[in-house]
Structure 1
């Protein structure tokens, strides 16, 4: 997806503007359609832009508009500049609902070039896969948290040796046996044992407990 950082509305003062605009930039009082007309060109967009389906515009630290790209054409009288032809999208469109109102993509913050490219699936981050709740960009884990996630899963099996034995069993015959510790019951009651799809479930009800 192409990402474009917009400035505040200003007069173009350019009689050769191929879009015949009087001004450009984000106008908070204008409609999405009018803002699209003011800001869909012209820009220095390379060949990479031709492979993109959407364009997002940011202003004031958040995404304010997204649009569909039909094609990108040369701007007449502006060598090296191009115009995005397409249409703005609105609420209810998945791409709009996913991006508009969210913070400007991290990789575009502080960059002098107003044109950047972001992956649509990772533009605004996702939670670290270790479960800590922190947001990461273009990665699965906060730095070092991959080890946290790994050790959490090893601990569910037991020791590292037990984990290796369990994993090797999967690799060998696909019938792993999860190691368990011995337990001695010293109370009177009823044990319910259920085997379902290869998973064993056991519950113990002490004598005298309400059913």
Structure 2
């Protein structure tokens, strides 16, 4: 994902106390520290859930890639998203390929966030099939394959047994007592 920062501007004090991305300014100017560029690039962007499949963000400002970021997490606020991650340093292949160069997309789009595929985005599907993916962690449908492989191995293939186990042990578990308000609990 390429993020193109415009000139630095004041965004107000209302964002200064945001727990995920506290800031008073957005955009870029040449006097900014790495931390300020990082915060300016993180968001809040009007992007859809597809953005959450991206592994890296390249920060374009003043006609040059200023920073590469490995994306680790996302937050959503209304129709906007912001990410957090790690600034990549020299020696990382994404940093070394892009930082200091021009816009790798050669796009004339005015929209600041742009997606494009690069061989450095490629990874192996997490299900173990060996297929190459360019976004996210899974080939299409293989996340479901991985879930059902585990349900077969640990719950005899029964989705109902898995759901019952998850309801009893997962983050929404009521405790040792069965929740009498849950549909079917008394049946």
Query: For the superposition of Structure 1 and Structure 2, which TM-score range results when normalised by the shorter chain?
Result: 0.5 to 0.7
Per the TM alignment, residue 61 of structure 1 is displaced from its structure 2 partner at its CA by 1.7
Q: Is 2:55 aligned against 1:53? A: yes
Higher helix content, 1 or 2? 2
Q: Is 2:98 aligned against 1:99? A: yes
The aligned residue for residue 71 of structure 1 is 73
SS of the equivalent of 1:15 reads helix
Per the TM alignment, residue 51 of structure 1 is displaced from its structure 2 partner at its CA by 1.4
Distance change >3 Å, CA 105–CA 80, structure 1 → 2 = same
Provide the alpha-carbon RMSD of the alignment. 2.1
Per the TM alignment, residue 7 of structure 1 is displaced from its structure 2 partner at its CA by 0.8
Deviates more, 1:18-27 or 1:50-59: 18-27
Per the TM alignment, residue 99 of structure 1 is displaced from its structure 2 partner at its CA by 0.5
| Alpha-carbon contact 1:90-1:96 (below 8 Å) kept | yes
SS of the equivalent of 1:110 reads coil
Task: State how far apart, in whole Å, the 1-side matches of 2:15 and 2:35 are.
Answer: 22
Aligned length: 118
| Alpha-carbon contact 1:89-1:96 (below 8 Å) kept | yes
The aligned residue for residue 88 of structure 1 is 87
Quick one: which of 38, 41, 44 aligns to 1:39? 41
Task: State how far apart, in whole Å, the 2-side matches of 1:31 and 1:96 are.
Answer: 17
Deviations 1:67-117 (A, max 9, x none): 011122203xxx11011111211222211010011111234x320211110
The gaps in structure 1 that reach 5 residues or longer are 124-211
